[in-house]
Amino acid sequence: MPTDLATLAQPLSDGNVRLELRTEDHREGLQAACAADTDIWEIYPMSMLDEHFDTAFDAMETFHATKNWINYAVLNGDSVVGMTNYIGADPANGVVEIGGTYIVPQVRGGPFNLTMKTLMIDHAIACGYTRIEFRVDTRNARSMAAVRKLGAVHEGTLRKNRITWTGYVRDTAVFGLLADEWSNRT
């Protein structure tokens, strides 16, 4: 059986890739990181830009504490370059989602993102989780390709299941990665 949330909620690092539990100290750096790609926020459930940032940052802290979310600031060395989360951690069933991820364009699509996700997957499995989920807006082809490269399997699409901050009603692709699949990868 997976460990409690306190054990899952640990800082993680590998070289310059650092995941710190997100705090108020990360607010300014995260705001700057989020502003590095203004176009991408059109396909996120919420906006982390301009006048929306403080409201979204504060809401995440309150909401996530009640929903078994573990919030991370993502750092490249000492610079905040984004955020990611364990979502809806369910120790009783051994399931946790990795999502709500944003990283600046300079570290997307390469070894930085792979290292970040590997840290999170390895840690979740070490804590006893046997299933990792990813839920991606179907308009986000880049993110869907990235989770497929991890070995996650597209298990289906939830049609029109979430209204984004723009009012768009999105479809969500659901991917699953099992612990034994991860440990058997080449």
Q: Are 87 and 100 in contact (CB under 8 A)?
A: yes
Over residues 154-165, the mean pLDDT reads: 95
Over residues 31-48, the mean pLDDT reads: 93
Over residues 96-108, the mean pLDDT reads: 95
- Domain region containing 160: 5-183
Q: For residue 87, which of 57, 63, 122 has the smallest C-alpha distance?
A: 63
pLDDT given at position 178: 97
Q: What is the spatial distance between Cα 43 and Cα 137, in angstroms, rounded to a whole number? A: 7
Q: What is the spatial distance between Cα 133 and Cα 98, in angstroms, rounded to a whole number? A: 6
pLDDT given at position 24: 94
pLDDT given at position 116: 97
Q: Are 102 and 54 in contact (CB under 8 A)?
A: no
Instruction: Work out the percent of the chain whose per-residue pLDDT is above 90.
Output: 81
Confidence of residue 2 (pLDDT cuts 50, 70, 90): low
Number of folded domains that form the chain: 1
| DSSP state for residue 186 in the 8-state scheme | -
3-state secondary structure of 11: coil
Over residues 161-179, the mean pLDDT reads: 95
Phi, psi (rounded to 5 degrees) for 138: -65, -15
The CATH number of residue 65's host domain is 3.40.630.30
Query: What is the rounded radius of gyration, in angstroms, for the C-alpha atoms of the chain?
Result: 16
Q: For residue 98, which of 56, 169, 150, 155 has the smallest C-alpha distance?
A: 150
Over residues 112-130, the mean pLDDT reads: 96
